[in-house]
Structure 1
Amino acid sequence: MTYVEDAADRMRPQQFHEAAGLEDWRVLGEGACAYFRTGSLAASAEFVQAISELTGPGECPPDVDLRHEGLTVRLITITQDYYGLTERNAELARRISAVARKLGALAVPSAVQTVQVTVDVLVGRAVIPFWRALLGYQDRANSPEDLIDPQRRAAPFYFQQMDTPRRQRNRVHIDVWVPYDQAEARIAAAIAAGGRLVTDAHAPSHWVLADAEGNEACVGVAGWTGPEPSRS
């Protein structure tokens, strides 16, 4: 099936978060996500069945990760030239939340996150084909710096352009995308566990942290107030 989207209906993360009726959802690096606690595998399966009846023609169906205690739902529109959120995603999110309330499933917004692997490169065209073939990934729509799992199961890879070689610094790091209202707590927990803050110069887009041996990771958010952030 070919999914279509109207450019006029595209939504930025902040627009999504400010829209009414989407309190259960958080925009992360890979779309809008919500976690619903159901309490049993049977209840989770019933919820998935109800969600399957909500998607209309021309809509990208949601990605659902079902577990016995609950399920995570992700919404994103993927076309040949767009990878992001639309008004239709927002409306579907509202309908899913309504079903959750009807079935007694509890939304836990703090329970969602996505993880991205970032590789620093000097010549992307010499590196990206290797990783595309190795991982069995494909290019992300309209973003030659990104590779994504075509099944949308595993972490995306982002290739960050460097101007000069960086000595004594790891060139592969993890980006952890968390809900905007969980970033400070996650950073504090990482620092309390032996990490350190490398820089907050890009906040509230992202913060760079490092472990005790200097291996870096970024905590990023979507839905900030301000311009488009840099990518770790």
Structure 2
Amino acid sequence: MTETGTKAIGIRPRQFHETSGLEDWRVVGEGACAYFRTGSFTSSVRFLQAISELPGLEADHPDVDVRGEGVLVRLITVSGDYYGLTERHLELARRISEVARGWGIVADPSAVQTVQVTVDALNVPEVVAFWRALLGYQDRAGSPEDLVDALRRGVPFYFQRMDEPRPQRNRVHVDVWVPYDQAEARIAAALAAGGRLVSDADAPDNWVLADPEGNEVCVGVAGPPVRPRS
């Protein structure tokens, strides 16, 4: 995504995470998210009102989920030619965190995640067409293998091409994107609950687990910051 007029340059998750002042936020597959614990519905609404008064929201307004316990804020640009983070989100995230601190509201980075359904298919376009019609979803910009909810409420679907049928292996699995600093604990909890590790070949970016009956799930993180060498 190049800078043209009001458009902003697209950025990668690692760049977001390595920017100072964004410690409240985690990139978890579908944009950068922060969860702010407000303690009451009234406080949540007031916090949302304060966010709405920040300048520059017309270009990249956040997606906000307001509950009695807290507020989830998601930053992502969705357009006909781009789906992801932009440089504008860096400053917007910083300002939202400043509002939270001014109100004495604490962020809980461990409380965010993205869940995605992945479908294995021999003929991806045909299978995508079925699910697009059934769900009322739309194509994700730049990725014909992805379907997303136009209202950005439902979980995204990803369609993974198979070279040959796998009749004795599940062809639908769940992807869970968690904060980079929560992955090890989440995996350990899943293994302690009866799961097993199928593969860690792509760790620390992705792990494949299975439940006690062999149903698989991928646990992924998005662009953790580079750890300095000791």
Q: Output the TM-score relative to the length of structure 1.
A: 0.92
Report the CA distance shift for 1:69/1:225 in structure 2 as closer, same or farther (over 3 A): closer
Q: Which amino acid aligns with 1:221?
A: V
Report the CA distance shift for 1:109/1:159 in structure 2 as closer, same or farther (over 3 A): same
Cα distance in 2 for partners of 1:62, 1:32 equals 10
Q: Deviations 1:71-91 (Å, cap 9, x if unpaired)?
A: 100001122111111110111
Q: Which amino acid aligns with 1:191?
A: L
Q: Which amino acid aligns with 1:71?
A: V
Report the CA distance shift for 1:30/1:109 in structure 2 as closer, same or farther (over 3 A): same
Cα distance in 2 for partners of 1:65, 1:4 equals 27
Report the CA distance shift for 1:196/1:53 in structure 2 as closer, same or farther (over 3 A): same
Q: Deviations 1:172-207 (Å, cap 9, x if unpaired)?
A: 000000000000000000000000000001111210
Q: Which residue of 2 aligns with 1:100?
A: 100
Cα distance in 1 for partners of 2:191, 2:147 equals 30
Q: For 1:176, what is the secondary structure of its paired residue?
A: strand
The CA deviation at 1:58 is 5.0
Q: Which residue of 1 aligns with 2:161?
A: 161
Cα distance in 1 for partners of 2:206, 2:109 equals 19
Matches within 5 A, 1:142-157: 142-157=142-157
The CA deviation at 1:5 is 2.2
Q: Which residue of 1 aligns with 2:7?
A: 5
Report the CA distance shift for 1:109/1:57 in structure 2 as closer, same or farther (over 3 A): closer
Q: Which residue of 1 aligns with 2:170?
A: 170
The CA deviation at 1:166 is 1.8
Q: Which residue of 2 aligns with 1:18?
A: 18
Q: Which amino acid aligns with 2:11?
A: M
State the identity %. 71
Q: Which amino acid aligns with 1:173?
A: H
Alpha-carbon RMSD across the aligned residues, in angstroms, is 1.4
The CA deviation at 1:60 is 2.0
Q: Which amino acid aligns with 1:39?
A: G
Cα distance in 2 for partners of 1:214, 1:4 equals 48
Cα distance in 2 for partners of 1:29, 1:68 equals 25
Structure 2: unaligned runs, 5 residues or longer: none
Q: Which residue of 1 aligns with 2:136?
A: 136
Q: For 1:163, what is the secondary structure of its paired residue?
A: coil
Cα distance in 2 for partners of 1:55, 1:152 equals 23
Q: Deviations 1:36-65 (Å, cap 9, x if unpaired)?
A: 001111100000011111252651210001
Cα distance in 2 for partners of 1:160, 1:224 equals 24
Q: Which amino acid aligns with 2:152?
A: R
Aligned residues: 222
The CA deviation at 1:153 is 0.4
Q: Which residue of 1 aligns with 2:198?
A: 198
Q: For 2:170, what is the secondary structure of its paired residue?
A: coil
Q: Which amino acid aligns with 1:150?
A: A
Matches within 5 A, 1:1-232: 4-6=6-8, 9-56=9-56, 58-224=58-224
Cα distance in 2 for partners of 1:55, 1:17 equals 23
Q: Output the TM-score relative to the length of structure 2.
A: 0.93
Q: Deviations 1:116-150 (Å, cap 9, x if unpaired)?
A: 00000110111111100100100011111000010
Cα distance in 2 for partners of 1:65, 1:208 equals 29
Contact 1:183/1:219 (<8 A) preserved: yes
State the 4+ residue runs in structure 1 displaced beyond 2 angstroms: 3-6
